[in-house]
Amino acid sequence: MGSPPDTSKTSKLERYNSYLRRLNSAKLISASSKLLFRFTLLATILLIVLLTLHYPVPFLSHSSHPSSSSSFTSPHRSLLSSSLPLESIRRSATPSRSNGLSVLVTGAAGFVGTHCSLALNKRGDGVLGLDNFNSHLYDPSLKRHRQSLLASHSILVLDADINDSRLLSLLFASFPFSHVLHLAAQAGVRYAAKNPHSYIHSNVAGLVTLFESAAKAADPQPAIVWASSSSVYGLNKNSPFSESHTTDRPASLYAATKKAGEAIAHTYNHIYGLSITGLRFFTVYGPMGRPDMAYFFFTKAILAGKPITIFRSPDGKDVARDFTYIDDVVKGCLGALDTAKPSTGRPGGGPKTGPAQLRIYNLGNTSPVPVAKLVSILEKLLGTKAKKNIITMPSNGDVPFTHANVSLAAKDFGYRPTTNLSSGLSKFVNWYVNYYGIKLKTSTGATEAA
C-alpha cells in the first residue's frame, strides 16, 4: 500500500493566501476609512462656510456697546465689516441736511415704507431700510421693484427680518439712529384665517424684538413711530372713530395683534422710557400699492373681464371705507416723526430719567366712500364695465364701515388730508397701466397707451 499524500504544502499555501486576503481587506478598510474621514471633513468645512455666508450675523460678538456719539463711527466696525456693508449702511443712514433725522425704516420695501423712505430722503434725512421680502400676501417682485427704486435714490434696504435680534442690536449699538419708523408687519384681515402664526410672528414677536433692541442696545435710544391700524376699532359703533373710543372688541386676529401692539408699546414706554407714537392707518391706497387690496385686484379683474365681488353689510347697506391716499399718509408719518420727543431711557435698559412721550393718532381721509362708488370710479378710469357679484359680507373679520376723526393729528402736527378718491385712483391707474404695460380703451373703443 502506498503512503498518504503530503498535504503540508497545500495547507501552508492556503494559510498564506488567507493571510494575503486578510491583509488586503485591512488595507481596503483602512483606505476606505481615510477616504470617508476626508470626505466628512471636507463636507463639514463646506457646511460651515455655507452657514457663515448665509447666516453671518449670529457668529458675531457684541458684548460691549459704543458710547453716545453724534457721528457714524463705531468700535464695532471690525465686527460688522466682515458681514454687513458697513460703508453703504453709513452713507445711507447719514442725513445730508443740517440737523436732519437718521431713520431706521422697517418694512422699507413695502407700500407705505417705500413712499415714506423716498419722502425722508428727498428732504435730506438719512434712511436705512430693512425688509424680509416675504411672499405671504403677494408676489415679492413688486417689493424688489420698490427696492430698486429706493436704491436709485441711494437708499439701502437690507434683506433682514425684524425678529433677528442680533442684527437689530448690532445696528442700534453701531449707528446713532435718531428715529425708527416701524412699518414692518403682517397685514390683511382675511389672510389671518390661513396663516395665523405669521401675524403673531411679525406683529407681536417682531414688535417686542424691535422694542427690546431699541431699549437695551441703542445709545441714545431712538424715538419710535410705528404702524398700528384702524382695525383696532373692531366692532365699535361710534362714528367717526376717535382715539378716545374703546378698542377692546377686535373683529379679526390682525386687529387683535395690533391692539396687543398698542399695549406692548405702553409697557416699553413705561418701563424703559421709549418715546413711542402709534399711527392707526385707514385703508391706504395709491401707486405701488398692495396687490391684495380691493382697489388693486378690482383693477386687475376689470381689465381681464373677470367678475368682482362687492360686499354688502348684513342689514343691506353698502360697505364703506375711509380710503386714504398714500401722499396724505406719508405727510402724517413725517409729521409724527418731526414732533416725536426724545426717549428718556438709559443705555442698556437702565431706569428711565423721567416719563417719555406716548401717543396714538388716526391717519384717515375723514370721508367714507361706499365700495360700490370706488368700483364706478375705476370703471370710468379704465373704460370698462365691471362684472359685479354682490353678496352679503361674511363673518371673516371685516367690518361694514370705517370713518376717521383726525382732529388730534391735525392739532398736534398739522395733518390735513387733501386727496379725494377720484384723484387718488386716477394716479393709481396711471401707475398701474404703465407698470404692467397695459393699453386702455378710449371712449370710442380704440386703445391708447397710458
Examine residue 273 and state whether it is found in any structural domain, yes or no: yes
Examine residue 60 and state whether it is found in any structural domain, yes or no: no
> Which ranges in 277-370 belong to alpha helices (H)?
294-304, 326-339
Predicted pLDDT of residue 14 = 60
Indicate the Cα dihedral angle 150, 154, 155, 159, nearest 10°. 80
Q: Could you list the residue range(s) of the whole structural domain that residue 241 is in?
A: 68-441
pLDDT band at 19 (very low <50, low <70, confident <90, very high): low
Q: Is 251 in contact with 398 (CB distance < 8 Å)? A: yes
Which CATH number do you get for residue 220? 3.40.50.720
Predicted pLDDT of residue 447 = 42
Examine residue 429 and state whether it is found in any structural domain, yes or no: yes
Examine residue 308 and state whether it is found in any structural domain, yes or no: yes
Among 413, 404, 420, residue whose Cα is nearest residue 231: 404
Higher pLDDT, 150 or 392: 150
What average pLDDT does the segment 95-114 reach?
Answer: 97
Q: Is 329 in contact with 428 (CB distance < 8 Å)? A: no
Chain-wide mean pLDDT for the chain?
85
In this model, does residue 66 exceed pLDDT 60?
A: no
Higher pLDDT, 299 or 59: 299
Higher pLDDT, 49 or 377: 377
Examine residue 291 and state whether it is found in any structural domain, yes or no: yes
Burial (0-12, 13-18, 19+ Cβ within 10 Å), 199: buried
Predicted pLDDT of residue 190 = 83
Examine residue 3 and state whether it is found in any structural domain, yes or no: no
249-283 pLDDT tens trace? 999 999 999 999 999 999 999 999 999 999 999 99
In this model, does residue 314 exceed pLDDT 90?
A: no
Q: Is 230 in contact with 283 (CB distance < 8 Å)? A: yes
In this model, does residue 45 exceed pLDDT 90?
A: no
Contacts of 155 by beta carbon, 8 Å cutoff, 6+ apart:
92, 108, 117, 118, 121, 127, 128, 129
Predicted pLDDT of residue 71 = 39
pLDDT band at 188 (very low <50, low <70, confident <90, very high): confident
Number of domains forming the structure of the chain: 1
Examine residue 61 and state whether it is found in any structural domain, yes or no: no
Examine residue 359 and state whether it is found in any structural domain, yes or no: yes
Q: Which of 2-16, 52-66, 86-100, 277-291 has the lowest mean pLDDT?
A: 52-66
- Within 13 Å of residue 32, how many CA atoms lie on the same side as its CB? 6
In this model, does residue 53 exceed pLDDT 70?
A: no
- Express as a percent the part of the chain with pLDDT over 90: 70
Predicted pLDDT of residue 346 = 92
Q: What residues are annotated to the active site? A: 254
What average pLDDT does the segment 38-46 reach?
Answer: 46
127-161 pLDDT tens trace? 999 999 999 889 999 999 999 999 999 999 999 99
In this model, does residue 302 exceed pLDDT 80?
A: yes
What average pLDDT does the segment 97-123 reach?
Answer: 98
pLDDT band at 1 (very low <50, low <70, confident <90, very high): very low
In this model, does residue 224 exceed pLDDT 50?
A: yes
